[in-house]
Amino acid sequence: SSEVLEAIENVIQGVLQSLAQKKAPVLTVANRTDWRNIEFKDSVGLQMIPGCTTKQIRSDCPQSARRFALMLKILSMIYKMVQSNTYATKRDIYYSDTLLFGSQSVVDNIINDISCMLKIPRRSLHVLSTTKGFVAGNLSYTEEDGTKVNCTCSATVFTVPSNVQGIKNLTSHAKFILIVEKDATFQRLLDDDFFSKVSPCIMITGRGIPDLNTRLLVRKLWDSFQIPIFTLMDADPHGVEIMCVYKYGSVSMSFEAHHLTVPYVKWLGLLPSDLKRLNICKDALIPFTKQDENKLASIQKRPYIACQPLWKKELEIMAATKLKAEIQALTSVSSDYLSRVYLPNKLQFGGWL
């Protein structure tokens, strides 16, 4: 905490020095969303380059004066929380003055900028994310406040903890981890008792694009158990994008790549090549939209696809057919085909990329 306080004090000292010299104070932050500031490293994923380009948030410029003020406001809130060892969610910060902040996304963005500017992970700033992810299966752990969580002995779903760094005593006999894109599929696998039928496993869903805590938990499970991690996504560009976030990270959070990415993640399904192989009926397939085409073209250009020749082939199949399918398309074969046939066969015979 002293490191965080010192980092904030240094920023404020810079502001005061500028004022003393009758200069307009300026905050300098990295261009987090610029691909030119990102490098791809196989063992880490997408990470920010050391000498990346920056932008100035000036206090004397109409376009940025408001953002400058909001950054100082949130810095002061973080400073007080670290001093008093209290925590707040991003929602708490937004609702402390909705008129001032205007929208939740403004708060989220500024907190990421502050984290990047101070070079301090967000959880060390005492700002928690609201969790939307779920976890189930062969896993037990103790939360920071001493609460014992045991996912193993029931088909109950547990919310991913809001302070993943604080959990300890993780134990599991799982043979693998399965990341499921969507809540509906996750619930279906739970109903079918999948995680105990095939072999003990841990199931996680970020319910779409994963939040920070879900990504932190996947990383923590990998560091703790070093067991295979598979993804089960829709066979569409959006599903591939979500899988890439788990495996390689996202551009906007590349400054925290070391804590968030798991480059060992494997693509289990639904593969575009599965659709033809399993003879999925045409009615269950959905034609591409223009948005799908653009998203796929953008993914195909990314630096990590070049080092994944098998992924590249799958994306080419998708681009050629211009068809996508949700995981639910497998029910066109039979209602429990996913848990009874598809996943057990894939896991037994190594049908992942």
In this prediction, the residues of the chain whose per-residue pLDDT falls under 50 are none
Do 257 and 345 fall into the same domain? yes
pLDDT of residue 154: 64
Regarding whether 141 and 100 lie in a shared domain, the answer is: no
Number of domains in the chain: 2
Q: Is 337 a catalytic residue?
A: no
Beta bridge partners of 137: 202
71 and 163 co-located in one domain: no
What pLDDT is attached to residue 123? Answer: 77
Residues 105 and 163 both lie in one domain: no
Q: Name the domain boundary from 110, 128, 146.
A: 128
3-state secondary structure the chain: CHHHHHHHHHHHHHHHHHHHCCCCCEEEEECCCCHHHEEEECCCEEEECCCCCEEEEECCCCCCHHHHHHHHHHHHHHHHHHHHCCCEEHHHHHHCCHHHHCCHHHHHHHHHHHHHHHCCCHHHHCEECCCCCEEEECCEEECCCCCEEECCCCCCCEECCCCHHHCEEEECCCCEEEEECCHHHHHHHHHCCHHHHCCCEEEEECCCCCCHHHHHHHHHHHHHHCCCEEEECCECHHHHHHHHHHHHCCCCCHHHHHHHCCCCCEEEECCHHHHHHCCCCHHHCEECCHHHHHHHHHHHCCCCHHHCHHHHHHHHHHHHHCEEECHHHHHHCCCCHHHHHHHHHHHHHCCCC
Picking from 111, 128, 145, the residue at the C-terminal end of a domain is 128
Kindly report the pTM of this predicted structure: 0.82
Q: What is the CATH number of the domain that holds 281?
A: 3.40.1360.10
User: 257 is written with which tokens?
Assistant: 């790549």
- In this structure, the answer to whether residues 191 and 93 fall within a common structural domain is no
Are 292 and 240 in the same domain? Answer: yes
Domain residues for the domain of 69 are 2-128
What integer pLDDT is reported at residue 130 of this predicted model?
74
Q: Are residues 232 and 85 in the same domain?
A: no
Residues 151 and 35 in one domain: no
Judgement on whether residues 83 and 153 belong to the same structural domain of the protein: no
> Could you tell me the end-to-end alpha-carbon distance of the chain, in angstroms, rounded to an integer?
42
Same domain, 112 and 141: no
Q: Which member of 79, 87, 94, 95 is catalytic?
A: 95
> Is the peptide bond preceding residue 343 cis, with omega within 30 degrees of 0?
no
From 96, 128, 160, give the residue that closes a domain: 128
How far apart, in whole angstroms, are the C-alpha atoms of residue 32 and residue 40? Answer: 14
Same domain? For 221 and 321 the reply is yes
